[in-house]
Copies of this chain bind each other. A is one copy, B any other.
Amino acid sequence: MREGLILKLSCPDKPGLVSRIASYASEYQANLVEFNQFTDRERDAFYARLEIDTSNLDISQDDFMAGFSVLGKSLDADWHFRRLPYRMRTAVLVTRTDHCLNEIIWRAQLGEMPVEITSIIGNREDCRVIAEKAGIPFHFIEMKENKEVGFQDIDSLLEEQEVQLVVLARFMQIMPEWMCEKYQGKMINIHHSFLPAFIGANPYRQAYERGVKLIGATCHYVTSELDAGPIIEQQVERVHHHHSVHDLVRLGRDCERSALAKGIRYHVQDRTIIDGHRAIVFPD
């Protein structure tokens, strides 16, 4: 990734928005490498993502970002700048299964996802080996009867490590409301069904009982309502009557890995904007 900036912005729709935003950039010799825009006509809202090459900028990046606030305020906008290149500080929470974790580590190593995995946190010891092989610290947090203690320990770890993104990579605990709120828009989950079908526990068993012909996985932002947060990505796989629940688990793993990897990639590249119950995604 080149040096530059990403600008994400949302505001009420009005005429001339593209012109005003693009003109601000070109005024200071910033070059737009990628420009994505979406006008939601149902809500009269405007959303944009700009990838900006700042190599010829005739002011500093800081001044460029600071100066934008005049325009941003006049548009009544929410906006966010990100400096490139960057790697997002990410914690991965796991329980037993390691396929999602393995996928994240592998893609991070390959450079497919600009994340720095600060730690792997497990409420079981199962994933310690894979963490250690990858040279990433593993933290065991026991979830006893009073789970609140465990969640506070997790929160302390996240705080201490200045984590920017929390990934629930088949973490089999329901997050408390206060954590959902605290990490709103910064906590991503992979649910092993094609949401909103099969919310909650044992979705593969539910899918088997219902006799569906496609199973799926859903990568979504965590909100306090279970499995109801904004969806970033979904994947499906065809199944047949002869597949047992065990087979669905096996086939579903591929959906989970793929959906989670794409979801994280979109998030860390600032390609997502949360819009109420929905996520706007400008895919790459």
A residues in contact (CB < 8 Å) with B? 15-20, 22-23, 25-26, 29-35, 37-39, 41-42, 56, 99, 102, 106, 110, 112, 133, 194-198, 209-214, 216, 230-234, 236, 240-242, 244, 247, 250, 254, 258, 275, 277-281, 283-284
Q: How close is A220's CB to chain B, nearest CB, in angstroms?
A: 9
Residue of B nearest to A280 (CB): B241
Tell me whether chain A's interface is mostly helix, strand or loop, or mixed. mixed
B211 near A230 with CB under 8 A, answer yes
Give how many copies assemble into the complex: 4
| Contact assessment for B38 and A37 in the assembled complex, using a CB-CB cutoff below 8 Å | no
Asked whether A214 lies within 8 Å of B236 as measured between CB atoms, the reply is yes
Cα-based distance from A141 to B18 in the complex (angstroms): 51
Which of the residues B23, B31, B41, B112 comes within 8 Å of A15, measured between beta carbons?
A: B31
The answer on a CB contact under 8 Å between B18 and A209 is: no
Residues of B within 8 A of A23 (CB): 19, 22-23
Contacts of A194 in B (CB 8 A): 194, 197, 214
| Chain B residues, CB < 8 A from A212 | 195-196, 231, 234
9 residue pairs of the A-B complex, CB under 8 angstroms, read A15-B29, A20-B26, A35-B35, A99-B110, A210-B278, A211-B278, A214-B236, A241-B280, A241-B281
Known contacts A23-B23, A213-B233, A280-B241: A39-B34 contact under CB 8 Å? yes
List, in ascending order, chain B residues with CB within 8 A of A16's CB: 22, 26, 31
